[in-house]
Structure 1
Amino acid sequence: MDYKPTTNSSWVWRRICRVKQEMLPGYANGPWEVQGKEFSTAGCYEWLKGSKPKVPWARLIWNAWVVPKHQFLGWLFARGALRTNDKLVQYGMDIDDHCYLCAQATEGEDHLFFECAFSKRVGVQAVVVWGAMYHIWQERNRCRIDGAITRPGKCSEQIIEEVKARIRGRDFQHMTKAEINWLSQKNLYVMVA
């Protein structure tokens, strides 16, 4: 339990060891003793998670309007958890941190989704924001692996069709002031009916 990874250990192993350190207080006197309960994955998750305030972006992402695969990417973005090149370099990976889509700047979340010439041509508005982010991320990965980029117009068409298909048959849900404020802080343009 006292093991510490060396500085030349892989970032994955260092992360696993960090989780072990976070869980140590639950084993303070031998077996798992959190809230007088036996160990369970769900109980451990709840204990590690702790009580957190509700985030203003939750309903913007986790609602019936947004396509599920777009929700997941939106959730990663809202948490700042996308593994963009700038973060991979910070984790110690030996890669070029440039943007695969424009090769003009360091690839970070703000650049990739809001500043990159490619993302500006795709367009970002209302519910489409999560779809645009999803497809920009897919194009970034396709470019990284295959070295090819889909034209932005085709990317926009795919987003519009997916969002239209999702919205058909759904009732409009009004956004709260906190949700609108969160989107404004991210410089996202929101159309509220």
Structure 2
Amino acid sequence: MVGRLVDWVATQRDSIWVHWVQSNYLKGQEWMDYKPSTNSSWVWRRIYTVKEEMRAGYVNGQWGVQPEGFTPAGCYDWFKETRPRVQWFKAVWNGWVLTKHQFLGWLIAHKALNTAARLDSFGLDIEDICYLCGLATETIEHLLCECLYRRGIISELNTQIRWNLPTRDVLDWCMQRKGTAPQKGLQIALMLGTLYQVWHQRNKSRNENLLIQPESVAGIIMEEMRSRVRGRDRATMTIAERDWLKRMRLVE
């Protein structure tokens, strides 16, 4: 949709906004060669960034991707074809993972989780110490890999399901899962469900000054996974897959 504004300027659309842009920003410069000043607004710099991303689609100042001219849908399809699929795609957007857990995984993949360290980097007056263990700066790496509270949850889960969940590089671990589709999906769902509960408990600790024991959090995670299994059609699973679920204590 921002690309539509880019195309309006490129084709010199007869609109008040385009005339205003030409008068106040371009001032006779070619749009494709234009660079904004450092004090330009965030919105205008964002339009410029999208223009640079679309540059390869223009020929002699005209959008050459679609014969009928620019459309947001056509631009979207073009971006999909020209950009490689991210490696974490199947780990985050997995059908076994709950939607709220998928969204958290997406934030983690983009390093966009608003940890205390990230908020502090924005200039906010906030303590950057981990709200769960209080032993280190709260970065994504610390919270999701190194935090003792998080490790306590993992340790309890490993005891309950007799399985070695990782303590580092969680998205890489998710991408490397082996087995059948249900087995891989549930392993990923269990890990992202764990990360979600870590973040959820962190927020409760920060906002409500309330922190429950890792053993109780592990119980919540296991019950979520059991509910997820109950909601799927197990009739399509093989006997080996159903036996695997029993060993994981995800079914009775």
Cα deviation for residue 45 of structure 1 reads 5.0
Contact 1:5–1:17 (8 Å) recurs in 2: no
Contact 1:67–1:163 (8 Å) recurs in 2: no
**Equivalences, count:** 168
1:51 aligns to what? 82
Cα deviation for residue 42 of structure 1 reads 4.1
Contact 2:194–2:221 (8 Å) recurs in 1: yes
Give the TM-score normalised by the residue count of structure 2: 0.54
Alignment of 1:10-159 (within 5 A): 14=42, 16-24=43-51, 33=63, 35-36=65-66, 40-43=71-74, 51-123=82-154, 125=165, 126-127=187-188, 128-159=190-221
Contact 1:113–1:133 (8 Å) recurs in 2: yes
Contact 2:201–2:211 (8 Å) recurs in 1: yes
Cα deviation for residue 97 of structure 1 reads 1.4
Higher helix share: 2
* Structure 1 range deviating more: 135-144 or 37-46: 37-46
- Cα 1:39–1:115 change in 2 (3 A) is same
2:244 aligns to what? none
1:175 aligns to what? none
Letter in 1 for 2:95: A
- Cα 1:115–1:33 change in 2 (3 A) is same
Distance 1:140 1:87 in 2: 15
Distance 1:86 1:142 in 2: 17
Partner secondary structure for residue 35 of structure 1: coil
Contact 2:65–2:78 (8 Å) recurs in 1: no
Partner secondary structure for residue 107 of structure 2: helix
Contact 2:115–2:140 (8 Å) recurs in 1: yes
Contact 2:131–2:202 (8 Å) recurs in 1: yes
Contact 1:66–1:163 (8 Å) recurs in 2: no
**Structure 2, unaligned stretches of length 5 or more?**
1-20, 26-35, 158-164, 166-186, 238-247
Cα deviation for residue 158 of structure 1 reads 1.1
**Structure 1, unaligned stretches of length 5 or more?**
173-190
Residue from 224, 246, 249 that aligns with 1:162: 224
Give the TM-score normalised by the residue count of structure 1: 0.69
Cα deviation for residue 57 of structure 1 reads 2.1
Cα deviation for residue 119 of structure 1 reads 0.4
Cα deviation for residue 41 of structure 1 reads 4.7
Distance 1:22 1:47 in 2: 17
Cα deviation for residue 104 of structure 1 reads 1.0
1:56-81 residue CA offsets vs partner (Å, 9 max, x unmatched): 32112222221121111112112222
Partner secondary structure for residue 149 of structure 1: coil
Q: Which has the higher contact order (CA 8 A, sep 6+)?
A: 1
1:84-140 residue CA offsets vs partner (Å, 9 max, x unmatched): 122222233332211111111111111101111110111173331100111111111
Identity over aligned pairs, percent: 35
